[in-house]
Amino acid sequence: MALRRVLLAQALLTLAHVARCNFVTSLHSNYVVNLDFESDNLRPEAEASAADADEGDMKVMAFAGGSRKFRCKLPSSRNRTRDTSRSEELAQSKAHFIAAKLATLRGSCWKYKQDFWSYDVCFGRKITQYRPDGDVRFSLGEHVADADELLPTGGVRELYMGGADNRTTELRYVCGSSEASSRTFKLSEEWPLYYVFEISGPTFCLWREEDGNQARDASGRPLPASALLEELRGACVNVTQGWWTYEYCYPRQLTQFHMNGNGKKRDPEHALGTMSGSTAPTEANAVEMTIVRLKPSISPRERRAPPSNHRTLRQRLGGGTVCDQTNRPRATSMHFQCPLNWQSRPETRIISISEGSLCEYDVMIHTTLLCGHEKFLPTMPKGKETIQCLAEPEGA
């Protein structure tokens, strides 16, 4: 029996089947490409498959470094077996987007006090009302995932049901600030035993203005895309690579330093970019950033576009410590991305630092704070399909 060589390649051929709805993320399929180099020994089923295929579903493509041509049967609306209906795809996509909007809250609990009552709001789990000075405690409900609703405003509605004496709580997530001093987090009892918490955040906005760079809260106040990062304000993210440690403190500065001696002194220390001395705004919900699409890299040192081609939020920091080699201030482009593994809720972290040219730096930060914005959310995998390719005769 002749040896039949088959190359299995997991292809990043992405056909976007976009579910058209206000907040529905696009879906993509992963394709396995079977390249049969010995088409002279076709199996009967392969011959039949090729014969039955419509001419419009067949395409000649070059693989193996362009040295061989293959006749490939492509999936189409006529010959593709669909595991899910259109309505099921839509439901999956909405659930995917809701999960992305709530990614930074899942697994956490917030405390709220009103009068002599205290409340524990554990997102995605349960809500409890209690007296901190006594043993009185009531369940205000447990999360009912099937009741999650994506609202036309960009917000999300969750229900927590089955509490004590049939108490029910609704969490209303609305467009607004996530900065600590201006964030909305309030409670009302709309009717007996029915409670409503209202929680604001930019991830619950409609990012429809200026090509996704701006939204407006309920009062009409504009929010820039950088508002998505306001929960980082007052915090720093750092990473050590070899001799150097790099620290980014939102939104003001990126610093490079070495911990000397007993680890208490930074020496040397350089600012790789700063907003100090700049006229650019640094106030909450006012930091200037732009949405960009990165190009695929041709070198490991270059910043790389994500496989699903979702966007990146970029901040430019100049005015750093003067570079000895160029006699110019150091400068950095900060790039923020929603990570591909956002569903595991990874912490915000620096994942790469490169020096594209002398004292000009590119830094990539992954953060789930961006995932609730359509342009930053990676495409949702839809499934795997097979493309069968048969080699054309040599010299054809």
Q: What is the 3-state secondary structure (H, E, C) of 111-158?
A: EEEECCEEEEEECCCEEEEECCCCCCEEEEEEECHHHCEECCCCCEEE
C-beta separation of 225 from 373 below 8 A:
yes
248-252, 290-294, 308-312, 354-358: segment of lowest average pLDDT: 308-312
Angle among Cα 333, 336, 340 to the nearest 5 degrees reads 140
131-143 average pLDDT score:
95
* Type and span of the H or E element at 69: strand 68-73
C-beta separation of 50 from 363 below 8 A:
no
46-74 average pLDDT score:
67
49-58, 155-164, 168-177, 340-349: segment of lowest average pLDDT: 49-58
Q: Identify the pLDDT of residue 226.
A: 98
248-263 average pLDDT score:
92
* Type and span of the H or E element at 222: strand 222-224
Peptide bond into 381 cis (omega under 30): no
Question: What backbone phi and psi angles, to 5 degrees, belong to 175?
Answer: -65, 130
Residues with Cβ within 8 Å of 299's Cβ and at least 6 positions away in sequence, in order, are none
Q: Identify the pLDDT of residue 8.
A: 36
